[in-house]
Structures are given as structure tokens and as C-alpha cells.
Amino acid sequence: MSRITTRSFHDIRQALLDRREVALLDVREEAPFAEAHPLFAANIPLSKLELEIYARVPRRDTPITVYDDGEGLAQVAAERLLGLGYSDVALLDGGLAGWRDAGGELFRDVNVPSKAFGELVESRRHTPSLSAEEVKALLDAKADVVVLDARRFDEYQTMSIPTGISVPGAELVLRVRELAPNPQTRVIVNCAGRTRSIIGTQSLINAGLPNPVAALRNGTIGWTLAGQQLEHGQSRRFGEVSEANRQLAAQSARAVADQAGVGRARLADLKRWQAEAGRTTYLFDVRTPEEYEAGHLPGARSTPGGQLVQETDHYASVRGARVVLADDDGVRANMSASWLAQMGWEVFVLDDLSAADFTEQGAWKAPLPPLPQPAAIDPQTLSAWLAEGDTLVLDFTASANHVARHIPGAWWALRSQLPQALERLPVAGRYVLTCGSSLLARFVVDELKILTGKPVYLLEGGTTAWVAAGLPTESGEARLAVPRTDRYRRPYEGTDNPREAMQGYLDWEFGLIEQLGRDGTHGFFVI
């Protein structure tokens, strides 16, 4: 008999309305999650649970409710969470179907709270926008206009509006006066779809920028649907900010944060909160990744502010938690916090930071449980074994990584679907497991041993070590042991999406406000 209790839809709904902490975890892969899920569900696939859970649900006695859609993943995930030290774990009564049958609203796509909030902002503030045709006419006429791309730099490089400059969302208020010093210059903010251009445009308006500002309506999707050409591989980025513009941006950002009800905090408050039982506190550094790596507060996670607002559910997966933001200029933290406050978060900005507080360097490292230490081999040994035969390589990296590059003959699989994968795999005398770094693969070794009864080894250093050793790779989808459900194909990413999918995505976004109304748990407001 299971030792896991259940929670009902009504339990979760009431906790959300009461602003209590809720960790509602969908442990399916991202593609099925994107088909249907509750508004504030966080997607942490069972296959990657150990790699993500400690960062996303940091407090071990957080009330966690786990669900799937009848695949049997939730029970496994709940048991695993107990083994990882979580003490308040329950299954959602009836799973996803139980939520639906109880009258719960279900949402499509990913990062839905942020996208729905963006639509609410536009509807309440009537955020100005220009069509793709209007923007192209301005560019063709060599008008006094600057186009600022609010996405991550890697997204911008994939495809961008002609003349566009990469200025990720939280950087806009800080950087815009350098890029458009003449208050008559028209500023156009774009993203791939709608949310980040709406939030970016409204950020500049809220901060009192004197320039005329507008969003590119429907972003690069709208540009493509209008039959216009995007650029690829561009690298235009913002530069340094003068002290006068930095101070002006800091004053305006602080005023916006105050209007939104953002809390103020000092390092002493943070230390007290981090030691507090019964309450989750997230600490996020909202500057650029480069600034973070040069020096940051101990324990802070690097979450550039625009992406934090866009993907809040991914970083702060406990709805109702406390969020603390840090920067070194008072602009990016206050602007990001102003949006999080309007999205119903209890959010604070650290006010008393100095350069001496940013004592840690390097990239953020996710907190992990003790790592399994299975038998491991080096790339040269694997190469020799493959030449001998009777050795099968299983790759647990992201499917997109596998398709782009993998060890010759390797099969791709999902950890959460090992039994199904084994039905498709050729019989082997031994198995060697890999992923990009070997981190995820090391958690699979013992599971595969139990299922096959065969020797199973870890490739030390993963496929990265194989490549570094100068050994050959191949690409393609020829050996996929299970379907590629680990990633939802976003209609606003990449350059080869069907027009119908892009238009369907826009239509879905337009309907989000109505869904918010039916759901009734969001707690959003707009200043």
C-alpha cells in the first residue's frame, strides 16, 4: 500500500487563493506538459528530477503535489522525492484528469503565467504597438528609429529584425538612453511573439522614457507572417552606460518598483529569511550572465531579469514563495521586481549591496543530491569496445543535442521511459551510458542494470569527453528509442515553423485573458 497521500483540486485552489506556498509539479516530459496543465503547475520531468528539484523547490518541507496523466510517473516521482529528503509529498487526486473533472482550467504551451500576464498588461494599459508592415516602412524610409530585441542573445542571433540590437528585457530601461539619446527617436521593442515585447515596451513607458515607444506587434512571427525577411547571425549588442544615464534609470526604476509595491531589504533581512523555517526564499541575480560570473552574492542564482519575468515558473517553482532580487545598479532588480509584484509575488530588492558583497565568481552550479558513483570508462576504452562489438551506447542528453551530434551507433532514450526504450533497442552484452557531461547518465546506470541484468558502465565526462578526445561523431534521428517528447516545439522559435502553427500560437495568446478569468487564482494586477 502506498505511503503517499493525495491532495484534491480544491485543496490546491484554496492554497493558491490564500497565497500559501504551492509546489504543483507535473513530472511528464515538456511536450505532453505543454498540451495541458494547470496555470501554476511547474514542469520538472521525472527523468531530470534530481538535477532540478533542489534549486526549484529549495525547502525540504514545502508542500509538494505531484501529478501525471495516468502514465505512472507521479508515484515514482513522489517516492523519489521522499528519498531526496522532502517530507510533505502528495499525489494530485485523479491526476490531470482529476483536475479537469473537478472543474479546473487547463492551459496549453509553456511559461503560461508570464504569457497570460503579458496579455493582461496589454489589455489594461493599451500598450502601443506597430504592425510588421508599419515597422518595415519606417526602416525602408530610413526614419529616426531604433529596434531593440528583448530576447536572450542566442535567440536574437537565430533570427532578428533588420537593424535590431540585442537588449534583453531587464536591460532596456538601463541601456535605452545610450541607444536612443535623442528623445525624438522612435523606439521599437520586439521579441519572437508577444510577451517580452509587451513587457519591454511597457517597462520603458512605466519608467518615463520621453521617446515614442511601441512594440513590434506579434514579433518575429508577425514579421514572417507578413512575408518579410528576417536577418540571421547578427551580433549587435548594447554598450556601456554613462553614469548620468545610469542614475536617471535607477531613479525611474525605483519609482516604478515603489508604485508596484516592491519590498525593500538589506543583507541582514536576507540572512534572516534564509534561516527561516516554513518559508521559501529565492535569491536571484538579474544582471547579465557575464556580470554574474565576474562576481555575485554567495548563493544567488543567475536569472537575467527579462527571462525571470518570462519564465518565472521555471525559476521560482513554488508559487507563494518570497523572491529577493540583486543587482549592482538598482535598475534591473527594481524593474524586474515591479513585474513580479504585479504577477502576485512577494518580492524584495536588496538595497545595501556594494562591490565587496559580490564575493563568488563563476557560473551558477545547481545544488545536487549525492551523485551515484557507478563503474566508469574513458572514451578510448569505449572506442575499443565498440570496435569489438556487443556494446550499446545509450545517450540521455536532450534530443536536440543528440540529433545534432552523438557517438556513432548511440541510441537516444529518456530515463523515464527505459522499459519502452528497451523494447526497441537491439540486444547487447553490455551498455555504456552517456549524456553531454555524464551527470544525468550516472543516475540511470543502476536503473538499467536492474532492468537488463547486464553490465552497465558510465562514459566518464560524457559525449563532451568523447569529442575532446578527437573521436568521431555522427548526427541525425536514425536511432531514437522513444519519441522526442523532452522538448515542446515552440511555434515562435527557429525559422522553419509552419505558418498555421505561428498563427495558431498568436490566436492562443489572444485567448489567455479569458482563461485567466475562468481560472480565478492568478492574483495579477497592473499598475
Q: What pTM, to 2 d.p., does this model score?
A: 0.95
d(CA 329, CA 321): 25
Q: What are the grid coordinates assigned to 424, written together? A: 526497441
What separation, in Å, do the N-terminal and C-terminal C-alpha atoms of the chain show? 51
Full set of structural domains in the chain with CATH:
5-109 (3.40.250.10), 116-238 (3.40.250.10), 260-357 (3.40.250.10), 376-468 (3.40.250.10)
- Which residues, given as ranges, of the chain have pLDDT below 70? 1-2, 491-497
Beta-carbon contacts of residue 490 (< 8 Å; ≥ 6 apart): 109, 110
Q: What is the pLDDT of residue 109?
A: 92
Q: What is the pLDDT of residue 501?
A: 73
Tabulate helix, strand, coil % of the chain (nearest 5). 40, 15, 40
Q: What is the pLDDT of residue 2?
A: 60
Q: What is the pLDDT of residue 285?
A: 98
Q: What is the pLDDT of residue 493?
A: 66
Q: Looking at beta carbons, which pairs linking 396-401 to residues 24 or more positions away fall under 8 Å? A: 396/47, 396/433, 396/434, 396/435, 396/440, 396/441, 396/444, 397/434, 397/435, 397/436, 397/440, 397/462, 397/463, 398/436, 398/486, 398/487, 399/480, 399/484, 399/486, 399/487, 400/487, 401/436
Beta-carbon contacts of residue 189 (< 8 Å; ≥ 6 apart): 147, 148, 149, 150, 172, 197, 200, 201, 204, 213, 214, 215, 216
What is the DSSP code string of 460-485? TTHHHHHHHTT---B-SSTTBSS---
Q: In the chain, what percentage of residues exceed pLDDT 70?
A: 98
* Residues in a beta bridge with 387: none
Contact at 8 Å (CB) between 384 and 466?
Answer: no
Q: What is the pLDDT of residue 441?
A: 98
